Structure 1
Amino acid sequence: MPATRRSLLAGLSGLAAMPRFLFGAAHAQDHLLDAEWLATAGVEGGFAPVVLSAGFDATAVGKGAQRLHWVEPSPDGRTAVAVARRPGTTAVLFDRRAGTVLASFEPGEGRVFSGHGRFVEAGRRFYAVEIERASGQGVVSLREVADGFSVVAEWASAGIGPHDMLPGLGGLVIANGGIEPHTPEAFGAEVAHAGVAILDPSSGQTRAVGTLDGDLVSLSLRHLARAEDGLVVVAAQDLLNDSIARPLVYAVEPDGRLRAFDAPDEEWRGFRTYVGSIAVDRSGRYVAAASPRGNRVAIWTREGRFLGGVPLVDGCGLAATHEGGRFLATSGLGEVILIAADEEGVGVVARRSGGPRYDNHAVLVGA
């Protein structure tokens, strides 16, 4: 039976009674929040989802002990889910307009969340990416929103260390990062064992897996973005810090093959082995990648032609705006900038400081 508004509200009220592990509810706002973008941030010794207005005003929603990573807005126009990243074990449902925490839910036993999840089927269901603690193997769980985010199906992610996922290319695209750079497991490792898998969204069967070879096997494929017309891009982080200029942004073809974007060697080196976020603009013409280690945001055309970049210290969060050729970018130092791009180049057109310590991601709502 399809979920109705009444059944959805009943399910959410049941979920609200669940324990809020390591997370406190926020007091209701005295007015509805103007939610243009959503993000996560470090606030007052904890972590919280953050609502950003069109004027870059930031309002934190609740506060918890686990680091929240990606925020996924629901198509219902009201709620969103913020997901903790490994070693996190909580996902937080909140009302992005009222500024209140509704509930939280957890991964399967013996697993952690990877920091990412996506609503599908007009918000009736939610995919979460989970990692087995012991083996590092990836699991994609499909959850029924109206039934308290209960698990209705689970599939192997076709790789180890999955990080991001999204519906695309006629299936479900998973970035299996393999060995995560800058972790104890990465010490001395030279092969990441990463890949991008495309799964059948109804059965979970693996349709294709794209991997890198040769001098690129040290790359961990981690973050994904998609244009409305079907373009899917993936960003990488390098296990090695050997000064070799490896491409860190790729287009994912329908058969899983990975096509490298172009940039001068000095630009790739300037990323200091690390892309922490990737986004496609509203028009689908431009792709942005941010490096908090390289203190830089760079822009390409969708074909992979490098256009230029702008500095942003500890900048990582990236999101489209409602206007083509523009991106919002956030930093761990509380700065927000608006970037404009066209075929001739890239520049900063607005800036605001004094916000919270933004985490890796931001997302446009109401797109």
Structure 2
Amino acid sequence: MTSRRRFLAGLAATSLPPIHGWASVGRPEFLAAGLFPDGSYRLAGLDAQGTLLFSVPLPARGHAAAAHPVKPQAVAFARRPGTFAVVIDCVTGSPIARLTAPEGRHFYGHGTFSADGAIFFATENDFEAGEGIIGVWDAETFARLGEFPSGGVGPHDMRLMPGGKTLVIANGGIETHPETGRTKLNLPTMKPNLTYLSLSGLVQEQVSLTPALHKNSIRHLAVRRDGLVGFAMQWQGSKAEHPPLLGLHRQGETPHLLSAPEQDQRTLQGYAGSIAFSADGATVAITCPRSNALHRFDVASGTFSDAFELEDVCGLGSGPNGLVFTTGTGVFGALATAHPEIRTRAKCQWDNHLVRITPPA
């Protein structure tokens, strides 16, 4: 016979509210795409220590993902130039919907939800016109609602600014076409920019680099809580040149470019993979998988702090006490002091990005 204590305990358990949101999948801190030993491409949820909490299959290699601000849902994008994005229920591992780029378009691998989670925005390429597009999707039904210009060519990363009323877009400036794969078609005339748009597509501000740096493709973004934007670049010019690959910008001001000493800067081979601010916002860093490097800078002074050699490092995010990173060798590590700390080593190859799941405000 069930004891009174067990009966009351069971009654209490049944009266508890159901677990909703990201807590229902173990409260992951990050999303990351990767290639797993069985040959499958998957999207994984990781906690602050890099422990794998869940993984769900993708139809092909993933690039970045976007986390819903409340629901345990994620949109995983194909690697550029891809035409699919999969909306995943991270509780069941089942696909909820599949976003297909309209005819004449492809995705660029990044997107973001509105602050209330009602709308989803994706960077896209109108490849016949050679123009960047922001696709607008209903985040409940994932029906396409419309689109508006990105403000440039080759929009790659995109973030929602603090306050939830502005999108910042990294228009990389590089024109591509599916018939030529990832071939860059307009290097002599490329003009990258940062564009700030309202959620209805109205241009609020555009910022370009100097003419001498017009081949420095603005690719990836990080946004600090106070609205400071960090942007990582990929140089398309001469290999003999080693320009800055990291910039900071605040709306209404001119960009501030940061560079390491020449002996460190040239090792990056003109390529920054990911960018992130530290937890306290005092530090900003970029990664370079081509040269196994992570560079860290002081935000206030704009000075170079240090460089770290980490094999095939690319994913980068804000951790609880500094920065966290992932590598193509399966490492999840932390950088809060002068020395990197390897926390886990998964049996997979982590892909380009480590996406922070931002809890609701």
1:366–1:218 CA distance, 2 compared to 1 (3 A): closer
Partner SS state of residue 165, structure 1: strand
For each residue in 1:170-221, what CA deviation from the matched residue of structure 2 results, as whole angstroms up to 9, or x when unmatched? Answer: 622111111279976338934532111112223x122222111243122111
Aligned with residue 159 of structure 1, among 152, 156, 170? 152
Question: Which residue pairs with 1:179 in the alignment?
Answer: 174
Amino acid at match of 1:279: A
Task: Tell me how far apart the structure 1 counterparts of residues 158 and 71 of structure 2 sit (CA, whole Å).
Answer: 21
Task: Tell me how far apart the structure 1 counterparts of residues 259 and 127 of structure 2 sit (CA, whole Å).
Answer: 36
Task: Tell me how far apart the structure 2 counterparts of residues 126 and 322 of structure 1 sit (CA, whole Å).
Answer: 27
Question: Which residue pairs with 2:14 in the alignment?
Answer: none
Question: Which residue pairs with 1:270 in the alignment?
Answer: 267
Question: Which residue pairs with 2:328 in the alignment?
Answer: 332
- Whether the aligned pair in 1 keeps the contact of 2:174 and 2:185 (CA below 8 Å) is no
Report the structure number with the largest CA radius of gyration.
Answer: 2
Question: Which residue pairs with 2:348 in the alignment?
Answer: 356
For each residue in 1:317-337, what CA deviation from the matched residue of structure 2 results, as whole angstroms up to 9, or x when unmatched? Answer: 0111123xx211111121221
Amino acid at match of 2:316: L
Task: Tell me how far apart the structure 1 counterparts of residues 112 and 185 of structure 2 sit (CA, whole Å).
Answer: 31
Amino acid at match of 1:103: A
Percent of residue pairs identical: 31
1:133–1:191 CA distance, 2 compared to 1 (3 A): closer
In the TM superposition, what are the counterparts of 1:2-21 in structure 2 within 5 Å?
Answer: none
Amino acid at match of 2:116: A
What is the Cα deviation at residue 64 of structure 1?
3.2
In the TM superposition, what are the counterparts of 1:43-192 in structure 2 within 5 Å?
Answer: 43=36, 44-58=38-52, 61-146=55-140, 148-168=141-161, 171-179=166-174, 185-186=183-184, 189-192=187-190
Say whether residues 1:225 and 2:222 are aligned partners. Answer: yes
Aligned length: 329
Say whether residues 1:199 and 2:193 are aligned partners. Answer: no
For each residue in 1:9-36, what CA deviation from the matched residue of structure 2 results, as whole angstroms up to 9, or x when unmatched? Answer: xxxxxxxxxxxxxxxxxxxxxx944523
Partner SS state of residue 191, structure 2: coil
**TM-score, with structure 1 as normaliser:** 0.82
What is the Cα deviation at residue 161 of structure 1?
0.8
Amino acid at match of 2:171: N
For each residue in 1:111-157, what CA deviation from the matched residue of structure 2 results, as whole angstroms up to 9, or x when unmatched? Answer: 111000001132111111111232331111222112x1222231101
Amino acid at match of 1:57: T
Partner SS state of residue 266, structure 2: helix
Question: Which residue pairs with 2:280 in the alignment?
Answer: 283
**TM-score, with structure 2 as normaliser:** 0.83
Partner SS state of residue 159, structure 1: coil
Partner SS state of residue 268, structure 1: helix
Say whether residues 1:315 and 2:310 are aligned partners. Answer: no
Task: Tell me how far apart the structure 1 counterparts of residues 217 and 169 of structure 2 sit (CA, whole Å).
Answer: 13
Once the two structures are overlaid, the 10-residue window that deviates more, 33-42 or 290-299, is 33-42
- Whether the aligned pair in 1 keeps the contact of 2:88 and 2:96 (CA below 8 Å) is yes
